[in-house]
Amino acid sequence: MSQHNTPLLDQIETMADLRALPEAQLRQLADEVRADMISHVSHTGGHLGAGLGVVELTVALHYVFNTPDDRVIWDVGHQAYPHKILTGRRHQMRSLRQEGGLSGFTKRSESEFDPFGAGHSSTSISAGYGMAVARDMQRRHNHVIAVIGDGAMSAGMAYEAMNNAGADNSNLIVILNDNDMSIAQPVGALSSYLSQLVTSRPYQSLKGILKEVASRFPTEIEQTAKRAHSLAKEIVGAQSLFSQLGFTHIGPIDGHDVGQLVALMKNLRDGDVTGPVLVHCVTEKGKGHPFQSPSFEKYHAVPKFDVVTGEQVKPASNIPNYTSVFAQELIKLADDDPAIVAVTAAMPSGTGLDKVQKAHPKKVFDVGIAEQHAVTFAAGMATEGLKPFVAIYSTFLQRGYDQLVHDVAIQNLPVRFVIDRAGLVGADGATHGGVFDLAFLSCLPNMMIACPSDESELVHMMKTFAHYDDGPSALRFPRGEGRGVVMPDTPEILEIGKGRVLSEGQDLAILSLGVMLEEAEKAAAQLEAEGISVTIADARFAKPFDRALVTKLIETHKALLIVEESSPGGFSAHLLQFAANEGLLQKGCEIRVATIADDYIDHAGRPGQLAMAGIDAAHLVALAKDMLGEAEATRAEAP
């Protein structure tokens, strides 16, 4: 299973096996878990850095608390690989993020040790508070622990949850895994000692006595007693933003000192702590990574790599990916237009804006994990004449939808949404799938939506978007490489809402949107080989779409197949409504749509996901033949 010697880890099949270990062996166990995780991820690729940083914390949590009865919620799920190794899934780790294998995130259907599924950040405290309320209502006594990273704490949802839980004085443990930015004093012996003190029975009893005494004195003396209680909290370092929200604040503590972690967790488990508690745990993201050089992102996500040398295995390719093409074009556009700015929500490298920032450091704004703020922030810019390009993954744009509707669309502001990872996303699976944006954007009045079919089209569309000021717009493109087409020397400004015909036939018309053109061309080639004459058209724009083109395709073909990499309710739904209202459905043309199946598509490679979704070339060919058969039958029945 592993290239490393893991004698302690090899003994652990259940939580009872873990808890039977002497505490003195937990340091060795943590080292073995870290080595085991590195070995597995070297074969599968995946999120490496966050998990390496929480190995000791994971060991301590499962060693001390009675999981799964005690609930541990891992925010986002990037850091859950050690958790999976210790909770009965070690033998499946080589299937991580592979078709039919383990999810790269926590997943309720995968294990009873995953009480809450994750994929997006900043949800763990809200979920944990909900679990704590349910526990109290059902008169159970289990613990609820939410582990959240410092980056995820930049999202407002985390503070909304803390404000609610603090006001309710619910028994909830929040562990802040601080692995990047410094938000408190450095870890030291005094801080470690005080962290133990604040969770111990003597200190908790002191707090209880002070509270009881304060309630029995007249108002003037009561204020003095309360001040004494407040001063006691300040002495032990607990007075902070978090304590103002009603949480007992503990730390910072060393997140790699497993002995200290176990002692603290035992105090939290067995002590008289009441109400919500926040433990500030300082860790090193990527701790123990095998790579030779440091990394700005501490190996957040990596491809397969050599576990000995650390050399990453990346297939050689000269084809640019869509993200890099977007970034290069935005740099050129920003060179010539002082009004162009860019906004991202904690994804500068993922969206390519890190490159733009190097060229234009004052024009790129990273607002942290705060998509709602990002959208309205850009709206404010647009009111003052700037041209904001908001680069957000499709799956994360969902988090800013209310702001997109209320603050951008209703006011018809020219904010340009650059939607990366649109469509199916491979190994990240359903939680990160960008399949809903066409449906939730197409329903908005005044929204212009363009979908490039290849990297050359993306270049033209970037030029078009830079000059589009009539209202909000969205440019969506997929994860990964382009098609290797010849890139244009001079970008063109495209006519809004105008599609194009790539080849003409008489029997079947395939109208494709975006990168599904590649599957459409594969299907057309097979159909042509079987004697079926096929027209291939590229819609280019989902909204407004080319009504004249659609009308012509319906009036001149036996069948029309509309293809999009989107959930039902998107481009094709609006096209069919148009066709029905214009009486085009009575023209004798058999019309079908091929969208992503009305389901959540699990993690797999792109070919596997397209097949599961029912929109790969093989499915298109089968659908086309069925359509033409129906069309012929209808013609034969006609008087």
Active site residues: 285, 371, 399
- Angle at 460 (CA atoms; ends 459, 462), nearest 5 degrees: 65
Segment holding 57, helix H or strand E: helix 55-64
The helices-and-strands tally (H runs, E runs) of the chain is 24, 17
Q: Phi/psi at 414 (nearest 5 deg)? A: -80, 65
| Count of C-beta atoms within a 10 Å radius of residue 296 | 9
- Report how far residue 42's alpha carbon sits from residue 38's, in angstroms, rounded to the nearest whole number: 6
Segment holding 518, helix H or strand E: helix 517-529
What CA–CA distances, in Å, run from 222 to 202, 217, 233, 464?
22, 5, 17, 68
| DSSP summary character for residue 435 | -
Beta strands in 219-376 (DSSP E): 248-254, 277-282, 340-344, 364-366
| First-to-last C-alpha distance (Å) of the chain | 70
Segment holding 63, helix H or strand E: helix 55-64
Q: Phi/psi at 300 (nearest 5 deg)? A: -55, -55
Q: Which two tokens stand for residue 250?
A: 């503990």
Burial class (CB in 10 A: 0-12, 13-18, 19+), 274: middle
Question: Could you tell me if 482 and 319 are in contact, meaning their C-beta atoms sit under 8 angstroms apart?
Answer: yes
Chain position carrying tokens 């200190």: 203
Q: Phi/psi at 259 (nearest 5 deg)? A: -65, -45
| Alpha-helix residue ranges (DSSP H) falling in 388-454 | 394-397, 401-403, 437-442
Query: Radius of gyration of the chain from Cα atoms?
Result: 28
Nearest C-alpha neighbor of 420 from the set 294, 353, 323, 510: 323
Chain position carrying tokens 């991820």: 41
Antiparallel, parallel or unpaired: β 173-178 and 277-282: parallel
- Report how far residue 165's alpha carbon sits from residue 289's, in angstroms, rounded to the nearest whole number: 36
DSSP string, 445-502: TT-EEE--SSHHHHHHHHHHHHT--SS-EEEE--SSB---PPPPSS---PPTT--EEE
What interhelical angle do 547-556 and 571-581 show, nearest 10?
70
Query: b or e along 338-375 (b: 16 or more beta carbons within 10 Å of the residue's beta carbon)?
Result: eebbbbbbbbbbbbbbbbbbeebeebbbbbbbbbbbbb
DSSP 3-state percent helix, strand, coil across the chain (nearest 5): 45, 15, 40
What CA–CA distances, in Å, run from 572 to 166, 510, 567, 591?
47, 12, 10, 10
- Report how far residue 450's alpha carbon sits from residue 497's, in angstroms, rounded to the nearest whole number: 8
